[in-house]
């Protein structure tokens, strides 16, 4: 296992163990294993652990190609997966859009208040007045019966076919800059053009995520490929660390969502 662990952070080792267990179960039972929804970093870990193994393969689906959160299907080499094997449901939220505006945080918070795990939901998509939720089939009936308000606003759910999913493409801006270190507060301040004094309380108050996980340490060291999001400021990816300048600063390339 150590040869796998060395490529990942310590806090990711528990998830790696889980993926290895899934893989072994597929080998032993010779049948597919469907996971809950995984964030992109978890998908990357699953792909790395499974690798090019000829006996166990993996596919991901979250609705359409560009969805962010996806379910993984691990399966033996004889199996040919189809869309139905991922057991996805799509709902559209119907609400009084002329009078109220819904936010991602409001919708997600209301879903969590039903006692459901975040891993049972895929992307929550917004386009103009349309709001759509992708979820696991196994909670669709419960959701249909119990999800009837967001905050204090009454809503209705209408089940849709996956081919009616709202298309979504993020506009990306490339940023090239230099930083004195790869500490989270230093890198975040440079990306979002704010002071370290301003970003440090955001980190310690758990408003900053790295690879979709809350990080509350200002000295957390960022790595190439990390996705950083700050509530109220947006999301970006540390696409590349290009080495050091003559002034001993790290030159970084960042992909920032507009």
For residues 121 and 139, membership in a common domain is answered with yes
CA distance 33 to 243: 41
For residues 177 and 240, membership in a common domain is answered with yes
For residues 159 and 182, membership in a common domain is answered with no
For residues 178 and 252, membership in a common domain is answered with yes
If one counts the domains in the chain, the total is 3
Contact call for residues 110 and 152 (beta carbons, < 8 A): no
Contact call for residues 69 and 118 (beta carbons, < 8 A): no
Name the domain boundary from 52, 85, 118: 85
Q: How many CA atoms are closer than 13 Å to the CA of 198, on its beta-carbon side? A: 12
CA distance 56 to 19: 12
pLDDT bracket for residue 171 (50, 70, 90): confident
CA distance 96 to 104: 16
Q: What is the pLDDT of residue 2?
A: 58
For residues 150 and 185, membership in a common domain is answered with no
pLDDT, tens only, 90-140: 999 999 888 888 888 899 999 999 999 999 999 999 888 889 999 999 999
In CATH, what number is assigned to the domain containing residue 98? 3.30.70.330
In CATH, what number is assigned to the domain containing residue 71? 3.30.1370.160
Alpha carbon 76 to its chain centroid, in Å, reads 26
Q: What value, to the nearest 5°, has the Cα angle with vertex 81 and ends 76 and 86?
A: 110
Q: What is the pLDDT of residue 258?
A: 65
For residues 233 and 159, membership in a common domain is answered with no
For residues 133 and 193, membership in a common domain is answered with no
CA distance 206 to 6: 27
CB atoms within 10 A of CB 30: 13
Is the pLDDT higher at 168 or at 161? 161
pLDDT, tens only, 14-59: 999 999 999 999 999 999 999 999 999 999 999 999 987 678 999 9
As a whole number, the mean pLDDT across the chain is 92
Average pLDDT over residues 180-198: 96
For residues 112 and 126, membership in a common domain is answered with yes
For residues 113 and 153, membership in a common domain is answered with yes
In CATH, what number is assigned to the domain containing residue 231? 3.10.290.10
Q: Which long-range contacts (CB under 8 A, 24 or more apart) does 199-204 make?
A: 199/230, 202/230, 202/231
Indicate the pTM of the whole model. 0.83
For residues 101 and 70, membership in a common domain is answered with no
Name the domain boundary from 53, 85, 117: 85
Average pLDDT over residues 161-188: 89
Name the domain boundary from 164, 183, 214: 164
Which residues contact residue 257 at a Cβ distance below 8 angstroms, ignoring those fewer than 6 apart?
A: 170, 171, 172, 173, 234, 235, 236
Q: 16: domain range?
A: 2-85
């Amino acid at each position: 296992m150590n040869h796998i662990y060395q490529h990942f952070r310590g806090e990711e080792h528990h998830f790696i163990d889980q993926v290895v267990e899934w893989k072994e179960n597929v080998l032993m039972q010779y049948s597919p294993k469907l996971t809950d929804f995984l964030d992109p970093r978890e998908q990357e870990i699953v792909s790395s652990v499974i690798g090019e193994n000829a006996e166990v393969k993996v596919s991901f689906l979250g609705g359409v190609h560009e969805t962010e959160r996806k379910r993984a299907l691990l399966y033996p080499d004889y199996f040919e997966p189809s869309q139905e094997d991922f057991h996805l449901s799509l709902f559209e939220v119907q609400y009084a859009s002329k009078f109220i505006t819904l936010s991602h945080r409001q919708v997600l918070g209301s879903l969590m208040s039903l006692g459901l795990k975040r891993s049972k939901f895929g992307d929550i998509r917004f386009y103009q007045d349309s709001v759509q939720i992708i979820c696991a089939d196994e909670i669709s009936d419960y959701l249909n019966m119990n999800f009837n308000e967001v905050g204090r606003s009454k809503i209705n759910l209408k089940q849709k076919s996956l081919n009616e999913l709202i298309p979504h493409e993020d506009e990306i801006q490339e940023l090239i800059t230099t930083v004195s270190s790869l500490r989270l507060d230093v890198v975040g301040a440079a990306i979002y053009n704010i002071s370290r004094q301003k970003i440090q309380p955001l980190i310690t108050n758990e408003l900053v995520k790295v690879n979709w996980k809350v990080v509350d340490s200002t000295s957390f060291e960022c790595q190439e490929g990390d996705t950083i999001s700050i509530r109220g400021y947006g999301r970006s990816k540390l696409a590349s660390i290009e080495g050091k300048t003559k002034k001993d600063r790290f030159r970084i390339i960042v992909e920032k969502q507009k």
